[in-house]
Amino acid sequence: MNIGYHQQWVRLLLSLTSGAMGTLSFSPYNIWPAALISLFGLQILTLSRTIYQVSGIGFIWGVGLFGSGISWVYTSIASFSGMPCLINMLLVLFFIFYLSFYPLLFTIILNFLCMEVCFLRCVIVAPALWQITEFLRGSILTGFPWLQFGYSQVDGPLKFLAPVIGVEGITFTLMIITGLIVHAVFKRNVISVLAITLLLLIHWPLRMFYWFKPLSQRAVNVALVQGNIAPSLKRDTKQLNHILNTYTQLSDPYIGKVPIIIWPESAIPDLEGNQQSFLSTFDHKLQMSDTIVVTGILDARLKEDSYHIYNSIIVFGAHQPYNYFRSSRYQKNHLVPFGEYIPLEHFLRLFRSFVNFPIPISGHGSYIQPLLRVGNYNLSPSICYEVVLRQKIYDNFRSESDFFIILSNDAWFGQSIAPWQHIQMAQMRSLELGRPSLYSSNNGVTAIIDANGTIIRMIPQFVSGVLVEKVIPTTGLTPYSRFGNWSVWVITLYFLMFRLFYVF
């Protein structure tokens, strides 16, 4: 009894370690084999265990992964919410425990269907169940599809699967490879070893396919402005003129020389209606100089007898005179809990005497919105967290899109790994859909990403600067842009049906 008790503690320690190791597979570390080691640990530790043992192993593995991989959430919540330190810590702990429920669910169901090591468990059932639990994690409540292991392959050997089956398909493939490793270790199976080798070498034939075509004749110079404005300054209305001057002074040398200038999310930290004078004056200057500015701004619109504040992107300047009612714009659809809205607002407001809620309640833009027309180019827009939402980006993508444009403000994450994880997901969107990305962040990472998901140029974090680069738009549709991840779900359902028929 004591021996079994101590052995379980060893398993829990190993599961915590293997879960934490998964974080190393993501940016900025980019040690992609760590994804296989982490998933291998999860699968091998749950073999031939009781329901109580696998529950603990799955949950603790999740604590290891999410506790190390999203610890930056504390910095973000503390910066946004204005709540006491203890409450912030409890919120983060609750969030990590909540996310850890999904690997716990995976291990319980996997153990129920296939307890012993066999090809069926390792290569058929495990990938299918993982696909389902990861889908639930990315969908329930607001969804949080962060740290999906497919992102680890942005610079890995499965990279060129992205234009075919997307990030979920890559994650599915990683689970198959991990299962084959477990099977090869326990069964000394040569066929499993050969299958692993073939899957890891699949990028060689796939890299020969060109799913998109660069349009070199339509190349355009763009300037991405990184203001490096501290979050505290954005909250101080006395600093508004200083912030506007920072962006205009950084942009001035490029007005008339660069056709498109891009400012980051909420670069103008005030309501658009309050800035009509500034916008009209600056718009006139841009029209005279044949330059267009794309910027993030807040906007209040009357809807259902009340004003809703929207996190927006607007376009103005040459050939697109600014007009508050008609200017090309995008309104953020997916809002961040505690950052842009308060979950369970009516309940939490009971604690106003103990907790400060300085956050404005924002409005939701439409789920499907038109492309931003910027000069002669069509841009697929997203703001900050939205680029993580694979399905939303896919649903809003159009064949006539020239670039993705992502405006972000990662200053809330401090000097954590979050901005690097964030831009890695933007790289995956470019890979999946075959379009370059213009990634503009307040304090970095500000970068240009090509249609192969490679960062071709960026400027350092935490400095004021301007990134100027010639960007080549692309045309053409990847298999993923045509069919999405239907193939992954077809295989998932087939695997599960195979398991059911195998049993009965």
Neighbours of 143 (CB within 10 A): 16
Given 272, 332, 340, 432, which residue is catalytic? Answer: 332
Lookup result for tokens 């916008």: 279
Residue 21 tokens read as: 């190791």
> Cα(355)–Cα(342) distance, rounded to whole angstroms?
12
Instruction: Kindly report the length of the chain.
Output: 504
The DSSP letter of residue 331 is E
Contact present, 40 and 81 (Cβ < 8 Å): no
Whether the link from the prior residue into 419 is cis, omega within 30° of 0, is no
- Kindly list the distances between the CA atom of residue 312 and the CA atoms of 69, 269, 336, 407, 487, in Å, as whole numbers in the listed order: 29, 11, 14, 10, 34
Kindly provide the residue ranges of all beta strands, DSSP E only, lying in 304-442, ordered along the sequence.
306-317, 329-331, 372-374, 377-383, 403-408, 437-441
Half-sphere exposure of 337 (CA within 13 A, CB side): 14
Distant-in-sequence contacts of 36-41, Cβ < 8 A, 24+ apart: 36/174, 36/177, 36/178, 36/181, 38/65, 38/149, 39/149, 39/174, 39/175, 39/178, 40/178, 40/181, 40/182, 41/14, 41/15, 41/17
Q: Which helix (H) or strand (E) holds 305?
A: none
Nearest C-alpha neighbor of 502 from the set 33, 91, 113, 183: 113
Nearest C-alpha neighbor of 268 from the set 276, 260, 257, 259: 276
Q: One-letter amino acid identity for 6? A: H
Identify whether 303 is a catalytic site residue: no
Identify whether 265 is a catalytic site residue: yes
Identify whether 384 is a catalytic site residue: yes
Alpha helix ranges (H) inside 230-386: 231-235, 240-251, 276-289, 345-348
Residue 137 tokens read as: 């994690």
- Kindly list the distances between the CA atom of residue 458 and the CA atoms of 266, 425, 447, 448, 469, in Å, as whole numbers in the listed order: 20, 16, 4, 6, 10
The DSSP letter of residue 23 is G
Given 168, 265, 340, 386, which residue is catalytic? Answer: 265
- Kindly list the distances between the CA atom of residue 31 and the CA atoms of 20, 42, 62, 395, 501, in Å, as whole numbers in the listed order: 13, 18, 19, 31, 39
The DSSP letter of residue 256 is T
Backbone angles phi, psi at 177, to 5 degrees: -60, -45
> Cα(72)–Cα(76) distance, rounded to whole angstroms?
7
Nearest C-alpha neighbor of 14 from the set 55, 43, 45, 40: 45
Active-site annotation, residues: 265, 332, 384
